[in-house]
Structure 1
Amino acid sequence: MSSSPTALPASGAAMDRALPQPRRLAWRLGVPALAVVAAGLLVAWRPSALQTVATPQLAAAHWGEFRDELALRARVEPLRSVQLDAPEAGRVEAVLAHDGDVVAAGAPLYRLHSPEQEQLLMQRGAEVAQQMANVSVQRSALAASLSTNRRELAQLQAAQQQAEADHRRQQQLAAAGFVSPAVLEQAERQHRLATALLEQTRLDQQAEAETRRQSLDEMARAVQGLQQGLALLQHSRERLLQRAPIAGQLSGFQLQVGASVKPGDRLGRIDDPAGGVQLVAEVDEFHLPRLHPGLSATSPSGELTLAQTLPQVQAGKVRALLRWVEGASSPHGLRPGQALELRLQLDRPSKALLLAEGPGVQTTLYVREGHELHRRQVRLGRRAAGQVEVLAGLQPGDDVLISPPPDTEAERFALP
C-alpha cells in the first residue's frame, strides 16, 4: 500500500509575480511634452496682459467748421413787471384778487390785519395826547408867570418912582437948609436901591421867560415828531390794504386767508402784457468773461440779441437777458414762464480740427494704434455744441477714446 505525499502549509508565494521596473516621467512623456509644460509655466509666471476696455466709444478727429455757440434753455419773462412784496407784517384777512386775474392800477389785492400795529398806533396816540397836555400845562404856567412878573415889575416901578420923587424933594429941602445932609444921603440910597431892584427884576424876568419859551419850543418839536410818527403809523395802517401798483396780469399770486406775512415776503408779480416779453437764460459762470451785449442768438421764434448779463452768480450760473432784434417784435402766443431752446453764438464760425465731446476728452487721452489704445498728451481749445477744438497732438483720422478710460494712469489699453 503506497502512502500519499505530505501536504505543506499555504504561504501565498505561488501568487507573487515580479513587476516591471518603473520608467522616468520624462521618458514616458517625451521631450516635446516636457517643453509644452515648461512653456505653460512661463506663461503662468509672466506679468499680466494689457487691461481691456470693455465698451469703448471712439470718435475720429476731423476738419470741420467750429461753431462757438452755447445751447441754452431760456424762459419767457415779461419786459415790464412789478414784484409784489409785503410792505407790512400781519395776517391775511381777505384776498381780493387771484392768480391770473387782469387788474387795473389801484385795484385792491388783499388786506392784512396786524394787532401789534393797532396796539402801537394806540400807544403812539396816547403819547401824543400826553405831550400835548404837557405843552398846554406849560403854556398856562408861562402865562401865569408872565402875569405875576408884570404885577411885580409894576410894583417895583412904582417904588422906584416914589424913591426918585423923595430924593428930589430932599435935594430941594437940603438946598434950602431945612434938612440935614444925612437925610439927603438916606434918600439917595433909597433911590439907588429902588432903581437897582427894578433893573435886576426886569433882567430876571426876561431870562425866566426866555427859558420857558425855549422849553415850550422843545416840547412843541417833540410833539411834532410824535405826530409825524403817528401819521406814518396811520399811513402804514392804510398800507394793510395792498393795491395794484400798475395795470396788468397777476402772476404767482398764491396768497391764502389766514397766512402770516412779514415785510419783504415775495407774494407774486404783475406783468404788463403791453410791454412785450424777453428770454432769460442761465449760463455757466465759466463763460461770463465772454458774454457782452450784442451777441447773436437763434431760436425757433426768431433771431435774438444779448441785451444784458446780470453778473450775480447763483449756484454757478449767471442770468442772461435776450431780446428780439431791433425792428422785430416778440412773437405772438408766447406766455411768461414758457421755455424755449436757443443757441447763443459767442464767436464767428471758423475752420478747426474737431473732436466729439466726451468725458474721456481731456488733455491726456487715448488714441487707437492697431488693436491697442495708447496714451497721448494733446492741447485742446474751445468747447461748444458737443465739439472740442484740437490745437495740437492729433491728426485728422485719429480714433480717440471719448468714453472714460478704466484707469487714467495706464499707458496702454487693449481693445475688445
Structure 2
Amino acid sequence: MSSPSAPPNAPSGAAMDRPLPAPRRRVPVALRWALACLVAMGLGVATWPLRERVPAVRQAQLAPVVAGEFRDELPLRAVVEPLRSVQLDAQEAGRVEAVLVRDGDTVAEGAPLFRLHSPEQEQLLMQRSAEVAQQLANVSVQRSALASSLAQNRRELAQLQAAQQQAEAEHQRQARLAADGFVAPAALEHSQRQLALATTLLQQTRQDQHVEAQTRQQSLDEMARAVQGLQRGLQLLARSRERLEQRAPMAGRLSGFTPQVGASVRPGERLGRIDDPDGGTQLLAEVDEFYLPRLQVGQAATSAHGPLALTQTLPQVQGGKARVRLQWHAQTPSLRPGQAVELRLQFSAPRPALMLPDGPGVQPQLYVRHGDRLERRAVQLGQRAAGRVEVLHGLQAGDEVLVSAPPNFDSPTLRLP
C-alpha cells in the first residue's frame, strides 16, 4: 500500500537554513586593565621629563586683579593727647615724704601735690646761715674799728691844729719883737720854721686820715656786698626748700602722676602732667621714617571721630619712627588722653585704578594664571598703599596673579599642584 502524496504548495523548510557568524573571542577583564595601566605608564614616562623641568608652586596664594578706587593712604594708630598741658618735673632732689593727690584727680592752681625731704639741703641751709652770720659779725667788727680809728684821727687832728695855731701865734709875736729890735733874726727864723713844720704836719695828717678812711670804707663796702650775696644765696636756698613741696602750676586733671612715698627723685625727673580738660585734644602717631619725604603740614586724615589734618612733624627719629601731630577740623570729640584712635593719613586724592593685594610675588615680573599653570609676565606697577598695589599696565580685571613668593623667579612657567 502506497503512502499518500504531499500537497503541491506545502513549505519545504529550506528557507529557514542560514549560516551563523563565527563566535567572537572575548578579552579577559584583567587583561584589559593591564593594557590600560601600560598605556598610562607609557604616557607618564613620556611626560615625566617635561613635568620635572617646570617648577611647582606648593602653596600658591592667588589673588584677582580688581577695578576699584585706589587710596594712597597710610593706616596709623594714634594716641590722644591734650592740646594744653603742663609737665610736672621734680625741681629739687630728695625723698618723697608725702603724696597729697592721686592720678586722675582734678586739682586747682597752687594746690600741693607732694612733699620731698632733703637732708643735704637742710645741711647746706644751716651752713650758709652760719656763713652769713660770720660775715655779718666781721662787718660789725670792721665798722667798730673804723669808728674807733675815726675818733683817734679826730683827736690827733685836733692836737695838730692846736700846735699849728700855737706856732703861728709864736711866730707873730717873734715878728713884732724883731721889728722893735728886741729879738735877734735867728729867733724869728726859728719861729718861722716851727710854724711851717706845724702847718705841714697838719696838712699831711689830714691827707693820710682821708686816705685811711676811704680804704676802710671800701673794705666795708666789699664786705657788705659779700654779705648781700650770701644773703641772696640763703634766700634761694630757703625758696628751694619751699619747692620741696610741689604745687600745681595750673588747674586741670593729673595724668601719669607717679610719685611714691619713700622713692628718691632727681631734679628734672618727669613725675606726671596736668591736662587742661577745656583746652581740647590732639593725636600723636608714629610714622615709619620711609614716609618722611611725603609728610606735609595740612595733609588730610580720616577717623571714626571725624576728619583731621596733620599739623606738625617732629624731626626726631627714634628706632626708625618719626612722630606727627594731628588735629580735628571741627569740634574736638570727647576723648580722654591716652585713648587709642585708628586713622588713615591721605597722601593724595582717591582715583580709579586696577589693584592687587600686596605681597612678595607682586613684582614688575609676576606670574599670571593660565589654567593649571602660571605664566611669567612683565607688568607696570604704580604706588603701594594700605596693602594694595596699583596696576598701570600689563594686566586686566579678573586676571589671577600669584601674590606669594614663587619658588624661582627665573622660570617662565610654573605649575600649580
The two structures have a TM-score, normalised by structure 1, of 0.81
1:127-138 correspondence runs (5 A): 127-138=131-142
Which of 253, 256, 260 in structure 2 is aligned with 1:256? 260
Q: Deviations over 1:20-48 (max 9, x none)?
A: xxxxxxxxxxxxxxxxxxxx9xx99x9x7
Distance (whole Å) between structure 2 residues aligned to residue 121 and residue 214 of structure 1:
29
Structure 1 residue 263, shift from structure 2 partner = 0.8
Cα shift at 1:72 = 0.9
Task: Give per-residue Cα distances to partners, 1:63-102, cap 9 Å, x unaligned.
Answer: 5432111111111222222211111111111111111222
Per mean C-alpha deviation after superposition, the further-off stretch among 82-91 and 278-287 is 278-287
The answer for the alignment partner of 1:193 in structure 2 is 197
Matches within 5 A, 1:19-30: none
- Within a 5 Å distance, the mapping from 1:369-388 to structure 2 comes to 370=370, 371-372=373-374, 374=376, 376=378, 380-388=381-389
What letter matches 1:382 in structure 2?
A: Q
Contact in 2 for aligned 1:53/1:413 (Cα 8 Å) = no
Aligned to 1:303: 307
Match of 1:267 among 254, 266, 271: 271
Aligned to 2:343: 342
SS for the counterpart of 2:88 is: strand
Query: How many aligned positions are there?
Result: 369
Match of 1:368 in 2: 368
Corresponding residue of 1:16? none
Give the letter for the 2:203 counterpart.
E
Give unmatched runs, 5+ long, in structure 1: 1-39
| Structure 2 residue runs without a partner (length 5+) | 1-44
Equivalent pair of 1:375/1:411 in contact (CA under 8 Å): no
Q: Which of 200, 209, 219 is the aligned partner of 1:205?
A: 209
Greater Cα radius of gyration, structure 1 or 2: 2
Instruction: State the SS of the aligned residue for 1:148.
Output: helix
Contact map agreement 2:76 2:286 (CA 8 A) in 1: yes
Offset, 1:284 = 1.8
User: 2:125, 2:408 → 1: CA distance?
Assistant: 73
Tell me the residue number matched to 1:396.
Answer: 396
Note the C-alpha offset of 1:353. 4.8
* Residue aligning to 2:18: none
Asked if the contact 2:105/2:253 (under 8 Å) is kept, the reply is yes
Matched, 1:172 2:173: no
1:146 alignment partner AA: L
1:244 matched to 2:248: yes
Query: After superposition, where does 1:322-333 map in structure 2 within 5 Å?
Result: 322-325=326-329, 328-332=330-334
Residue 54 of structure 1: how far off its partner (Å) = 2.6
Cα deviation for residue 176 of structure 1 reads 2.1
Summarize the Cα distance change of 1:253–1:194 in structure 2 as closer, same or farther, 3 Å threshold: same
Question: Where do 1:3-402 residues align within 5 Å?
Answer: 49-61=53-65, 64-325=68-329, 328-332=330-334, 334-362=335-363, 365-368=365-368, 370=370, 371-372=373-374, 374=376, 376=378, 380-390=381-391, 394-396=394-396, 400-402=401-403
- Given that residues 301 and 309 in structure 2 are in contact (C-alpha distance below 8 angstroms), is that contact kept between their aligned partners in structure 1? yes
SS at match of 2:53: coil
Kept after mapping to 1: 8 A contact 2:368/2:377? no
TM-score, with length taken from structure 2:
0.80
Counterpart Cα distance in 2 of 1:301 and 1:151:
94
RMSD: 2.7
Shift of residue 288, structure 1, vs aligned partner: 2.4
1:295 deviates by: 1.9
Distance 2:257 2:227 in 1: 42
